[in-house]
Structure 1
Amino acid sequence: MSAEGLISAIEEEWLFDDMYSSAILEGLADNGAEKEVAVRDFAAEVIGNLGPYGYFMKVAEDGRPVQIDTVTQFKSEMKGEQLLLSFTAPLARPVDPQHHAVQFSVYDPTYFIRMVHRPDDPPSIKSKEKNHCRVHVEPPNPSPATIARAFALDRGASPDDTLGDLFAEKVHIRCK
């Protein structure tokens, strides 16, 4: 958060599960240079692939969409046996959580992948100045009809890019 109380970017850390991490690094020596290169290059590949999908992020101010600019700050590393992707998603325009309701969610619009915020390290506001912000993570609460709709999708069907949003956590930010 800036000194003026505006949010201009969202910092994300995605910790991939053991199985996905193993699949990405399959066949590489545990401590070899080849693995180091693969881990380092993972971030650039993922960020490049996510760009057309808004980096799987949906940001809104008073319900109006806020676009994400091109992500240029990113890195990947190992955290134990898991790949960790860190990146900063700059907003196309700063949002003002003191005067407007700000919300964001993270989800894959093309395929269901469970993405949740860590309860032991929930989203927070980074600021050099003391802020009076409240961040609330709202768990998803899809209706039985929505769940049935999701289960009824055919594997070959075109994805419904609104469906993932119904299963995503919503992060609400309000400041005084």
Structure 2
Amino acid sequence: MRQTRSVRSSRIAHAIAAVAGGLLSTLAGATAAAAHPHVFVDARMQIIGDKSGHLVAIRNIWWMDELFSASVIPDFDANANGRLDSDELKAVGKQVKQSIAEWSYYTFLSHGADDIAMQPPGDFDVIYSPSKGKLLFTFTMKPKHPVDLTKEAVTFSVYDKTYFVAFDFPDEGRFELKNLPDKCRKQFVVPSPDDEAKRWMSSIAQFNSDQTVPTPSDGVDFSKVLATRLELDCR
């Protein structure tokens, strides 16, 4: 029985590692460039502010794909009743929250070249929809320091640096502004791989032969430049 529980624990770790963007054991040793998505997320982000134009928080709303959702149920169904009860859903949320902390919760905010530090989420809510056959993850993050959106444009994006998890924002409506001034303008950006490759090549062409080119560890940081993003300007 203990051996069975050990095997089950190992399976849980691998399932959560998938959400965390880690490689499964069968993919160990694969490079980031060779990796491709194995977990798919239908994503939404709420950008919450106040009437003075300050960023209060962002809320991520993720529908996980059916295959991943189905794989989680047997590992967390402690009472073996074929579904995830409220305490079991809380256990899923606790484990996922701990695991994806290493990856900054896949959530990145920046103004210009500077990243905006975010606090870890508080509650990590998980529900299961039998009709959809999917798990829904919802969590809120607040900036560590005040962010005045009326003074600087801010970029919001969600992506996995290892390419293991794919986050889909199919249209501009997936980035929802709440309680922000009416003057705020948003630009929905879906990068083109060819255009971004050309832009990167153009940038390194400016360096002399004796200069060190600041190349990301994967050659080109496509995980970032290819991420769908929202550029918000309330100036």
TM-score normalised over the length of structure 1: 0.78
Structure of larger gyration radius: 2
Q: How many aligned residue pairs are there?
A: 162
For residue 183 of structure 2, what is the aligned residue in structure 1?
A: 132
Structure 2 residue runs of 5 or longer lacking an equivalent are: 1-48, 198-216
Distance (Å, rounded) in 1 between the aligned partners of 2:61 and 2:94: 14
Distance (Å, rounded) in 1 between the aligned partners of 2:66 and 2:90: 17
My pick for the range that moved more, 129-138 or 92-101, is 129-138
Identity %: 22
Q: Write the mapping of 1:111-126 to structure 2, written as runs, cut at 5 A.
A: 111-119=163-171, 121-126=173-178
For residue 229 of structure 2, what is the aligned residue in structure 1?
A: 170
SS in 2 for 1:172: strand
For residue 87 of structure 1, what is the aligned residue in structure 2?
A: 139
Q: Is the 8 A contact 1:25 1:38 kept in 2?
A: no
C-alpha deviation, 1:4, in angstroms: 2.2
Q: Is the 8 A contact 1:140 1:169 kept in 2?
A: yes
RMSD over aligned CA atoms reads: 2.8
Q: 1:11 to 1:109 in 2, by over 3 A?
A: same
For residue 100 of structure 1, what is the aligned residue in structure 2?
A: 152
- Give the letter for the 2:56 counterpart: S
For residue 22 of structure 1, what is the aligned residue in structure 2?
A: 70
Q: Which has the higher helix share?
A: 2
- Give the letter for the 1:39 counterpart: L
C-alpha deviation, 1:139, in angstroms: 0.8
Counterpart selection for 1:60 from 83, 89, 110: 110
Distance (Å, rounded) in 1 between the aligned partners of 2:170 and 2:97: 21
SS in 1 for 2:137: strand
Q: Is the 8 A contact 1:95 1:102 kept in 2?
A: no
Distance (Å, rounded) in 2 between the aligned partners of 1:66 and 1:5: 16
Distance (Å, rounded) in 1 between the aligned partners of 2:229 and 2:181: 24
SS in 2 for 1:77: strand
C-alpha deviation, 1:118, in angstroms: 4.6
1:66-110 deviations in Å (ceiling 9; x for gaps): 111121132010133110000001111232222211001111112
Q: Is the 8 A contact 1:13 1:84 kept in 2?
A: yes
- Give the letter for the 1:35 counterpart: L
- Give the letter for the 1:170 counterpart: R
Q: 1:118 to 1:85 in 2, by over 3 A?
A: farther
1:26-66 deviations in Å (ceiling 9; x for gaps): 3759x948611332322221111111221111110233111
TM-score normalised over the length of structure 2: 0.60
Q: Write the mapping of 1:29-68 to structure 2, written as runs, cut at 5 A.
A: 32=81, 35-36=84-85, 37-68=87-118
Q: 1:78 to 1:5 in 2, by over 3 A?
A: same
Structure 1 residue runs of 5 or longer lacking an equivalent are: 147-158
- Give the letter for the 2:88 counterpart: A
SS in 1 for 2:50: coil
